[in-house]
Homo-oligomer: A and B are copies of this chain.
Amino acid sequence: MSDDNPSRKMILTLSGGVGGAKLAAGLAAVLPPQELAVVCNTGDDFEHLGLPISPDLDTVIYTLGGRSNTAQGWGLADESWRVIGALADLGGDTWFRLGDLDIATHLYRLSRRRAGGSLTDITAELCAGYGVRHPVWPMTDDPVRTMVQVPSGPLQGELAFQHYFVRERCQPPVSAFRFNGIEHARPQPRMMELLAGGKLGAVVICPSNPFVSVDPIIRLPGLRDGLRASGVPVIAVSPIVGGRAIKGPAAKMMQELGMPVTARAVAGYYGDLLDGFVIDHADAADAAAIESLGPVVQVTRTVMTGARERMALARDVLRFAATLGR
């Protein structure tokens, strides 16, 4: 693996759910555990039926553990639905589809939370249980809850993220997001140590949703300053390819927020956070315009249809990072 990361310095990657998990898995496939740490958004976390659910952490763990249901696009392979079926018969709340194997994850987390375990510790235990060798860290152990502002329509007001995302299938137009509790949230200490400690080689922002996956992380108190002070290149991979989001509501949100649905608009949104920006060949014509905003641009294939593409993109990103410096 030395070819992929000659400096042997750590790569810190910031990830949301499915899209981010793919690049994280690609990086995990080409880097040893001591050279990669994955920090996950927890703004999507919520309590459902009394179970503490961390959708992005779980997606990353399942994906890195090789257990994700690639056909379905979320959840675990070989899943079954006995519990939720029985709960439906009882008249219980079933809008959030919990599989039996997935419920085991949430019950494990619930029982460990009741015993006083931190989300960071529990995540490490789940990683061990699912055979994930690379460290996966929640962005914070404190509760941060993404709230979606819906300016009009029957659901006008503020929706908890999973209600917007799963129950309403991202249908209501949005106007803004709020991260409840973020001002009191302590950023993941291991991440802050890594940013401060000189062992870091680069930060990679996965092709996750800028508004609801990446923003909750980088808006944690002190994180933007910590990224800047680290002195390492910060690289983002565009979640927008050819005017569309590969996965999820990013494109729809950009439209509703009055932004052009382009990779360039994503780069503009991240602003001076970025040293490098990775875009797909489909957007190659915008490279110069994006570079005029600040970041160095790398054009490559960013659509990860399988393990091969994940690893190829991971290697491209690592090579790109090696060429950048502040």
Contact = CB atoms under 8 A, between A and B. Distances in A.
What size tier do the contact residues of chain A reach? 20 to 34
Interface in A78-118: 80, 82-87, 89-93, 100-101, 103-105, 107-108, 110-111, 113-114
A104 B129 contact: no
B47 A114 contact: yes
A142 interface: no
The quantity of this chain's copies bound in the complex is 2
Given A83-B83, A93-B111, A110-B49, A103 B103 contact: yes
A111 B95 CA distance: 14
A50 interface: yes
Contact of A82 (B51, B80, B89, B92): B80
A83 B110 contact: no
A257 to B, nearest CB: 34
Contacts of A80: 80, 82, 100
Contacts of A91: 125, 128-129
Contacts of A107: 49-51, 83, 87, 92, 103
The prevalent SS among residues of A at the interface is helix
A38 interface: no
A86 B126 CA distance: 12
Given A47-B114, A82-B82, A114-B47, A87 B108 contact: yes
A82 B105 CA distance: 12
A91 B125 CA distance: 9
A226 B126 CA distance: 52
**Which one of A47, A80, A100 has the highest number of Cβ atoms from chain B below 10 Å of its Cβ?**
A100
Contact of A126 (B47, B90, B93): B90
| A-B interface, 9 closest residue pairs, ranked by CB to CB distance from nearest | A86-B104, A90-B129, A50-B110, A82-B100, A49-B111, A87-B104, A86-B101, A50-B114, A92-B108
Interface of A: 47-51, 80, 82-87, 89-93, 100-101, 103-105, 107-108, 110-111, 113-114, 125-126, 128-130
9 contacts: A49-B111, A49-B114, A50-B107, A50-B111, A80-B80, A83-B107, A87-B107, A90-B105, A103-B103
Given A50-B110, A86-B101, 20 more contacts: A48-B111, A49-B108, A49-B110, A49-B111, A50-B113, A50-B114, A80-B80, A82-B100, A83-B83, A83-B107, A84-B104, A86-B100, A89-B129, A90-B105, A90-B125, A90-B129, A91-B125, A91-B129, A92-B111, A100-B100
